[in-house]
Amino acid sequence: MDTIDVTAKFSVTIPADKVLVDRDEWEHLTSDGLVGQRWTRQDCIDHLKGGGMRISDFTNHVLKPKRQELESIGAVLSWSNGKRGGGSKYLFRATVMSKWLEDNLDQITRGGWPHDSD
């Protein structure tokens, strides 16, 4: 199939309370607010805004199937040892986890990934 390149000039009105920012600069600016923060599983779910995912579903269909990937990118600070009360809990580096959640939002919205029992 042949293609034709078309160049056109047009104007866009930007409201006074908005600004245009380069995507890389925007990502840098928004991640700066997360620097040094640690997220729990609930923080991750809250970041998904409107997902309504239960913690158990998030753990079994998002975290556990992707544990190796999350560890390899440096998102995991602490992984639960599975013991209630006194055991370690899931903690994540907010800057890394925020980007990973955004990059995988479509799959997470569809319910995550299949999980084989440990």
| Domain residue limits at 44 | 37-109
Cα–Cα distance list, 59 to 12, 22, 42 (Å)? 43, 34, 10
Cα–Cα distance measured from residue 61 to residue 57, given in angstroms and rounded to the nearest whole number: 6
pLDDT at 72 over 80: yes
Number of domains in the chain: 1
pLDDT at 86 over 60: no
> What pLDDT does residue 6 have?
85
Is 28 within the bounds of a domain? no
Is 104 within the bounds of a domain? yes
30-67 tens-digit pLDDT = 666 788 889 999 999 998 876 678 999 999 999 999 99
Mean of all residue pLDDT scores within the chain: 85
Is 46 within the bounds of a domain? yes
Is 100 within the bounds of a domain? yes
